[in-house]
Structure 1
Amino acid sequence: MSDKCNLIKDILPLYVEDMVSSDTREFVSEHLQYCAECHAEFERMRKATKFIPDADPDIDIVPLKRVKRDLFIKRLQTICFTAILACAIATIIFGILTSPKFFPYSDNLLNVIDVPDGSVIITFDSEVTGYSCNEVFDNETETAIYRINAWTTTWDLHLSNRGKQNMVIPFDRETEIQIFYAQNDGSEDVLIYGPNQNTEENGVTLPRLILMPYFLLAFLALVVLAILRMLLRNKQAIIVWIDRAIPFPISYMAAQLCTKGFNFTTYSSQRDFCIIILVAMLLYFTMLTGKSLYKAKLNTSKGIEE
């Protein structure tokens, strides 16, 4: 009995139940046309009305169990690959749609209200769907300095309705406060509340550049892993772990390019970095699952050819 006949007999139970792919069905059908022994086994299986392993001791169900197990694992991997890839794409789209678009300062963008009870209320224009506020204390002038900004997103404009945005800044009247509006476009911050001291030094809120170092670090890690793989190509135990590690720097760089493009500056570093890490993890598991499916397909094709 040839190895091909052994392979055909392993597949026959699934072939009879129509649980194989079209390519495998064509391969088995072609073999059955000229192999009398396999065709007889096929006819015996097809005529059987009920499969009872204990009734026929000559039937070996181990190959059937192995094939069914491999088929189940392959289907499970395919489902996982599709689900993770879909989540990665959805996260990329969500990250792009929720990317902040900062408003430059204008007289009708916000209104500052000095409340007698000891607070400052800032009401924003209806186009504003989000804001942030950073506080620092200047020990030299004993002044609390607030820098606020306002933004909207494509998601908020079309898919969300947050209502009019307001914020309250507590003010105990015992210390001076200054409130600046940070335009986040390279322009000078605008003083919107507080004494006009040192307004010629309002400063400019600059974007953070943390994304560039992380991208370069991922690229460096990829280069180092590639070199190690080449140097240690004869040590299979180490190669396995290197092959598992290589996709992560690739995933991180792909995630950053998908969400931020070639723009490595950010005014919302924490949010952007979290989105990039989430997308990178999803892409990483997608690559591992896809690689496993590809190997399984190669092994199946090799077994059929033999």
Structure 2
Amino acid sequence: MKIDCEAKCDVINDLLPLYQEGLLSEASVELVEAHLKTCGACKKEADTSINDAASLKSYENIEGNEAAATRQGDIETFKKIRKKITLGKVKGILLAVLGSLVMAILIITYLTAPNYLPYNEERVGIIEGSDNKVYLEFGEDVAGYDIHPYENDAGDGVEYRISTWDNLWSSVFPRRSSSMIVLNPEGENLSTIFYYTTDGQPDQVIYGTNPYPNGGSLTLPRLALNYYVILAAFCFLIALIFWKLFRKQGIRRFFEVAAMFFGSYVLSHGMLHGLSATTYSILRDFTEIMLLSVTIFMILLILRKVLVANKKQ
């Protein structure tokens, strides 16, 4: 049976999609290619189909790339949001921990604040050993003590100034036994022991001879905390001035952090000691102030980061 030209073109057009996909048999491929060489209309139709298929494939690739880029952008945005939420939670936890630490330092300082005690023999007992050593026995009501050795004026021995105290903690949880220490473990010559209080009364000789027969001695409080807080306040003001003067961000940030550090010390001193700057135990009081000031300084640093991050949003 012969196929007319128009019908043959219809058959070839039906076979073109299979031909382009490479699904025809070898004989059918030869038939299609032979026809395309002699039929311009079918050749044009085949070229158009190939271009449409290529365009469709290119469009699908572009659409797929855009979809992939969109998904990647969504993932990156989600990661940024999750990171920001995580950092916010970490900062919140740190602030809570540091705030609790501030409260703990204040409570411990209040509970252990020394209340200096007057002298009596039951509170401070003196025992002389056979080896020339001198022992101090403290009563159950003594929560702590200060002992300061000095070389005597004659230069042939050591004199001591001691004091004792209790505090709110010891009144709630009293000690169950006395304690004892040795003043001269190497057997050095111990000339005098003075007992001092913080009420402005002269020091009391509780052992040995008074090296001041025409008068007495008075133990005065240390003023070092006064110098420290004045120095910190001065540095705080200087840092604020330079922070205002400079416009470069790096320099401003340095003086801003410096102002926070020195301001934290001034604030801590005020919280622990108020307007008083005298102390009979400089090491204990300075350590408490530094612990509180470092904690407050860390809180200020975190708050600063939070404020800067909020301004950038």
TM-score (norm 1): 0.73
Q: Is the counterpart of residue 236 in structure 1 residue 249 in structure 2?
A: yes
State whether residues 124 and 136 of structure 2, in contact with CA within 8 Å, keep that contact through their aligned partners in structure 1: yes
Change (3 A) 1:199 1:102: farther
CA distance in 2, matches of 1:145, 1:121: 14
Match of 2:261 in 1: 248
Letter of the aligned partner of 2:83 in structure 1?
A: R
How far 1:175 moved relative to its partner? 3.7
Three-state SS of the structure 2 residue aligned to 1:246 is: helix
State whether residues 142 and 176 of structure 1, in contact with CA within 8 Å, keep that contact through their aligned partners in structure 2: no
Match of 2:274 in 1: 261
Three-state SS of the structure 2 residue aligned to 1:178 is: strand
Q: Is the counterpart of residue 93 in structure 1 residue 93 in structure 2?
A: no
Q: 2:308 aligns with which of 292, 295, 300?
A: 295
Three-state SS of the structure 2 residue aligned to 1:204 is: coil
Q: 1:133 aligns with which of 116, 141, 147?
A: 147
State whether residues 146 and 164 of structure 2, in contact with CA within 8 Å, keep that contact through their aligned partners in structure 1: yes
State whether residues 121 and 167 of structure 1, in contact with CA within 8 Å, keep that contact through their aligned partners in structure 2: yes
Query: Who wins on radius of gyration, i.e. which is larger?
Result: 2
Q: Is the counterpart of residue 80 in structure 1 residue 129 in structure 2?
A: no
Three-state SS of the structure 1 residue aligned to 2:149 is: strand
Letter of the aligned partner of 1:262 in structure 2?
A: L
Deviation sequence 1:76-120 (CA, Å, 0-9, x none) = 111111111211221122122222211122354322222223222
Which moved further from structure 2: 183-192 or 114-123? 114-123
Which moved further from structure 2: 159-168 or 117-126? 159-168
How far 1:157 moved relative to its partner? 2.4
CA RMSD in angstroms, aligned pairs only: 2.3
The correspondence of residues 44-193 of structure 1 with structure 2, limited to 5 A, is 57=68, 58-59=70-71, 60=73, 61-138=75-152, 140=154, 142-159=156-173, 161=175, 163-170=177-184, 175=189, 177-193=191-207
State whether residues 237 and 259 of structure 2, in contact with CA within 8 Å, keep that contact through their aligned partners in structure 1: no
Which moved further from structure 2: 277-286 or 179-188? 179-188
Which one scores higher on RCO, CA 8 angstroms, separation ≥ 6? 1
Q: 1:278 aligns with which of 291, 302, 308?
A: 291
CA distance in 2, matches of 1:99, 1:254: 19
Three-state SS of the structure 1 residue aligned to 2:178 is: coil
Change (3 A) 1:130 1:121: same
CA distance in 2, matches of 1:271, 1:96: 13
Aligned length: 245
TM-score (norm 2): 0.72
Identical aligned residues as a percent: 27
Letter of the aligned partner of 1:118 in structure 2?
A: N
The ranges of structure 1 where at least 4 consecutive aligned residues each deviate by more than 6 angstroms after the TM superposition are 171-174
